[in-house]
Chains A and B, each alone.
Chain A
Amino acid sequence: MAFVSSGYNPDKPMEDRISDIGPRKYDEFYPEVIKKNKGKWLYHEILEPGILVHVAESGDKVYTVRAGGARLMSTSMIEEICDIADKHCDGKVRFTTRNNIEFMVDSEDKVAPLKQDLASRKFAGGSYKFPVGGTGAGITNIVHTQGWIHCHTPATDASGPVKATMDVLFDDFQNMRLPAHLRVSLACCLNMCGAVHCSDIAILGYHRKPPLLDHEYLDKMCEIPLAIAACPTAAIKPSKVDFKGTEVKSVAVKNERCMFCGNCYTMCPSMPLADREGDGIVIMAGGKVSNRITAPKFSKVVVAFIPNEAPRWPKTTEVIKNMVEAYAENANKYERLGEWAERIGWERFFDVCELDFTHHLIDDFRDPAYYTWRQTSQFKF
Chain B
Amino acid sequence: MAKHETPLLDQLESGPWPSFVSDLKQEAEKRAKNEKGLDLQIPVDVVEDLLGILELSYKHGKTHWKHGGIVGVFGYGGGVIGRYCDQPEMFPGVAHFHTIRVAQPAGKFYSTEYLRQLCNLWDFRGSGITNMHGSTGDIILIGTTTPQLEEVFYEMSHNMNQDLGGSGSNLRTPADCIGQARCEYACYDTQAICHDLTVEYQDELHRPAFPYKFKFKFDGCPNCCVASIARSDMSFIGTWKDDIRIDAEAVKAYVGGEIKSNGGAHAGRDWGAFDIQKEVVGLCPTGCMKYENGTLSINNKECTRCMHCINVMPRALRIGNDRGCSILVGAKAPILDGAQMGSLLVPFVEVNPEDEYQAIKDVIESIWDWWMEEGKNRERLGELIKRQGFQRLLEAVGIEAMPQHVQEPRSNPYIFWKEDEVEGGWERDIDEFRKDHKR
Contacts and interface: CB of A to CB of B under 8 A. Distances in A.
Contact of B162 (A23, A70, A292): A23
A159 interface: yes
Contacts of A195: 135, 227, 230-231, 333
A250 interface: no
Nearest to B65: A152
Interface stretch (B22-30, B364-372, B388-396, B419-427): B22-30
Q: Which of B47, B116, B153, B230 has the most CB of A within 10 A?
A: B230
B63 A151 contact: yes
A261 B137 CA distance: 25
Interface in A115-147: 123-131, 135-138, 143-147
A25 interface: yes
A6 B155 contact: yes
A7 interface: yes
B154 interface: yes
Interface in B120-142: 122-124, 128-135, 137, 142
A181 B58 CA distance: 32
Given A127-B17, A311-B12, A97 B263 contact: no
Given A41-B180, A94-B107, A290-B223, A170 B15 contact: yes
B263 A45 contact: yes
Contacts, number: 444
A155 B210 CA distance: 29
A292 B307 contact: yes
Nearest to A39: B180
Contacts of A167: 15-17
B175 interface: yes
A43 interface: yes
B264 A45 contact: yes
Given A95-B132, A163-B20, A289-B224, A19 B76 contact: yes
Given A70-B19, A123-B23, A131-B16, A7 B158 contact: yes
Given A291-B222, A311-B58, A74 B128 contact: yes
A289 B230 contact: yes
A81 interface: yes
Interface residues of B, number: 149
Given A13-B150, A91-B111, A194 B19 contact: no
Contacts of B237: 291
Interface string A278-320: 0100000001011111101010000000001011100000000
B60 interface: yes
A130 B17 CA distance: 9
Interface of B: 8-27, 30, 39-41, 43-44, 47, 50, 54, 57-58, 60-68, 74-76, 83, 97, 99, 103-116, 118-119, 122-124, 128-135, 137, 142-143, 147, 150-155, 157-158, 160-163, 165, 173, 175, 177-178, 180-184, 186, 189, 191, 194-195, 198-199, 202-203, 205-206, 222-227, 229-231, 237, 260, 262-269, 271, 279, 283, 285, 305-308, 311-312, 314-315, 333-339, 341
Interface of A: 1-8, 10, 13-14, 16-31, 34, 38-39, 41-49, 52, 54, 62, 64, 68-79, 81-82, 85-86, 91-97, 99, 101, 104, 123-131, 135-138, 143-154, 157, 159-160, 163-164, 166-167, 170, 173, 175-178, 181, 190-195, 197-198, 232, 261, 263, 266, 269, 274-276, 279, 287, 289-294, 296, 298, 308, 310-312, 333-334, 365-366, 368
